Each structure stands twice: as structure tokens, then as C-alpha cells.
Amino acid sequence: MGERTNEPETEQPTRQGEAPTRQDGWPIQQHAWQRVSPSYAWVDLFSNLIFVVVAAAVLVIMVLVADARPPWPVIAAVAVVAVVLLLNAIFAFRRVRAIGYVLRDDDLLFRRGIMFERVIAVPYGRLQLVDVTRGPLLRAMGLATLKFVTASAATGVNLPGLKVADAEALRDRLVELAETRRSGL
């Protein structure tokens, strides 16, 4: 009893009028989650590996340039940082699969995270700016990041890894929805 299995999560029976839930307690959405491009995993992986290389280079430079060997706590700290960044890079593909969004009637749902899943609902009427940005790595992969600015400074949402055409179409759709649902602004 109470053991977790590798079986897919199933719906729990519900009373009339309640949304069905998965066994882990999250509500099952009526809409399918839209995923970002799998190519974004390579951008995320490359970004993380750059930091691993920098941490390793710092360690090598410290050992080669120093007159005496650096103290072991310094070497240990740099090595730990390199290992943590390497583990972070290993999870890049899984982390990208966890990013998704849903356009609902009145809001945009955005989710990300593996261990600590975060789900944000952004009402269309609260959107003030929808921006498409592309850094050099994203540009090389034909991807873009959609950034949302709302009335709340704490609700900065970035939707990375969208194909450029999808990001521009989603931006235009969100601006259109925001214009029709503005209230009190």
C-alpha cells in the first residue's frame, strides 16, 4: 500500500462538478500542454557546459599560475561548482520537456520545473508587453524566447525555446487577446 509504481498516473474518481485530478494532486487540464521545441535542450545544454568549462578553467589556472598549491577548500569549492553545473547540464533534456503552456479562455498557463513544478496563470487582461527575444544561440537554432510583462513585477514569465514563427504568432495572438480583455487600465 502507498507504494509508487512506474504505471502512468490515472484519474481519481470525482464528484459531479469537480475537475478530475491525477494521483499526485495536480488538476488534469482539459487542454493539451504545448511544448517548446526539443532543439532548445541543445541551447540549454550548451549554455550549461560553457559554465562547466569556465569553472574547470578557473581550477586549472589556479593550479598552474599559483606559486604554491591553492588551499584544498578552494580547489574543493571550484570542483563542487563544476560537478553541480555538470549535473545541471545532464538534466537539460528533461528540464526542457517540463516546459509547456496552454492558452485557455481567459488566461495563459505556463509551467516549468522537474522537482519543483511551477505553474503560472497570466490573465490576458493583465498583459502589458509581449516581447520576442533571440540571443546568438537561439538564433543559430532558429528559436526565440517570448517574454511577458504584466501589471505585477513579480509575474515575469519567459517562455523559451519556441520556433521563431510560433513565437511571433503566439505574440500576436496574445496581444489580440489582451486588447479584447483589458479592464480598468
Domain locations along the chain = 40-94, 100-181
User: pLDDT tens for residues 82-133?
Assistant: 788 778 878 888 889 999 999 888 888 888 888 888 888 888 888 888 899 9
Copy the grid coordinates of residue 168: 511571433
Closest CA to 99 of 168, 162, 152: 162
Extract the runs of DSSP E, i.e. beta strands, from 113-150. 118-123, 127-133, 143-150
Q: What is the CATH number of domain 100-181?
A: 2.30.29.30
- For residues 158 and 171, is the Cβ–Cβ distance under 8 A? no
CA 58 to mean position of chain CA atoms = 28
* Residues of the chain scoring pLDDT < 50: 1-21, 28
Largest Cα–Cα separation, the chain: 75
CA-CA-CA-CA dihedral for 181, 109, 133, 94, to nearest 10: -170
| pTM for this entry | 0.69
- For residues 54 and 81, is the Cβ–Cβ distance under 8 A? no
